[in-house]
């Protein structure tokens, strides 16, 4: 009798937990009590603190890389490869797109708009030599109040494959409608990094709801919880889209939480990974 894929995934996940547990005991050691009569000077470790120390261990991190690469069907990258700077492009100039006009090429993307099925559509082509995470911020001109009544085409709001393209619904069609592009950001990804980014919820990013509603989820989505400090950093602009993508391109979101101190790599090996806030 054939074993179902969900069963294989559960068995694999259970095995991974067992491996991490064994690695934790091997590299972090067991808890020890102070000598009799000597007062303890540190608070006892909790399961959470032990797990934090475990996930900060490079050997445990490597175990996750091996497991996730097998699940994604891609080669396992080395820690050195996962520590390299990711090619980043951005453009925050104002660009106006009109139906029938030439497309524009910015930040590694080709953008053009179309009118189809009473909707205003934006086609986004990846012009780089790798998979990319991307964000294209737009405004419909003149401003419309009924954009959400247009039926959204399913598309990937987070990643575009190499040589791929995505088409998203911007609004209902109105005569003389145009689209104003206010900002574009892209970050080149390895195969495993693209797999990691696909697991993120769009709620983690400030994607316009009229756009996010069409997002097509790829695979199992994780919670990707962030702390109040991180939320505050995002709100005041100290933590940006690039920082979030850069972190999760290197760390599986099921295990690693974005630290408030993390910023995108500006050079190879700028930070040690895994990058974990141990509270020290």
Model-level pTM?
0.82
**Which pLDDT value is given to residue 54?**
83
Residue 150 CB burial class (10 angstroms; 0-12, 13-18, ≥19): buried
State the pLDDT at residue 36. Answer: 52
Residue 182's pLDDT is 97
**Cβ atoms 264, 242 nearer than 8 A:** yes
Residues (pLDDT < 70) of the chain are: 1-52, 278-280
Q: Nearest CA to 120 among 92, 90, 143?
A: 143
120 close to 169: Cβ distance less than 8 angstroms: yes
The closest of 173, 175, 125, 180 to 151, measured between CA atoms, is 173
pLDDT at 52: 61
Q: DSSP secondary-structure letter at 34?
A: P
pLDDT at 7: 43
Write the pLDDT tens digit of every residue in 210-251: 999 999 998 889 987 889 999 999 999 999 999 999 999 999
What is the pLDDT at residue 11?
A: 45
pLDDT for the residue 219: 85
Say what the pLDDT of residue 203 is: 92
Write the burial class of residue 1 (CB in 10 Å: 0-12 exposed, 13-18 middle, 19+ buried): exposed
Whether omega for the bond prior to residue 142 falls within 30 degrees of 0, making it cis, is yes
Q: How far apart are CA 246 and CA 256, in angstroms?
A: 13
Q: So what's the pLDDT on residue 223?
A: 85
53 φ/ψ angles, rounded to the nearest 5 degrees: -65, -35
């Amino acid at each position: 009798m054939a074993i179902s894929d969900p069963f294989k995934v559960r068995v694999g996940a259970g095995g991974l937990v067992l491996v991490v547990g064994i690695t934790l005991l091997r590299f972090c050691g067991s808890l020890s009590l102070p000598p009799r009569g000597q007062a303890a000077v540190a608070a006892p470790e909790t399961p959470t603190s032990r797990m934090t120390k475990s996930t900060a261990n490079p050997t445990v991190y490597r175990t996750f890389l091996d497991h996730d690469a097998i699940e994604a069907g891609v080669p396992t990258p080395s820690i050195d490869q996962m520590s390299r700077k990711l090619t980043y492009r951005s453009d925050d100039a104002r660009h106006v797109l009109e139906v029938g006009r030439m497309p524009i090429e910015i930040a590694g993307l080709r953008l053009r708009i179309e009118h189809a099925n009473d909707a205003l559509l934006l086609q986004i082509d990846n012009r780089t030599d790798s998979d990319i995470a991307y964000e294209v911020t737009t405004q419909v001109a003149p401003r419309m109040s009924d954009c959400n009544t247009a039926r959204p085409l399913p598309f990937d709001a987070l990643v575009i494959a190499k040589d791929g393209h995505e088409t998203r619904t911007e609004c209902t069609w109105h005569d003389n409608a145009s689209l104003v592009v206010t900002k574009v950001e892209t970050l080149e990804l390895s195969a495993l990094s693209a797999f990691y980014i696909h697991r993120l919820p769009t709620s983690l990013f400030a994607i316009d709801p009229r756009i996010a509603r069409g997002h097509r989820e790829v695979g199992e989505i994780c919670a990707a919880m962030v702390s109040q400090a991180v939320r505050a950093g995002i709100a005041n602009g100290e933590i940006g889209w690039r920082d979030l993508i850069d972190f999760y391109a290197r760390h599986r979101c099921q295990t690693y939480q974005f630290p408030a101190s993390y910023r995108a790599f500006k050079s190879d090996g700028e930070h040690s990974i895994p990058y974990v806030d141990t509270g020290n």
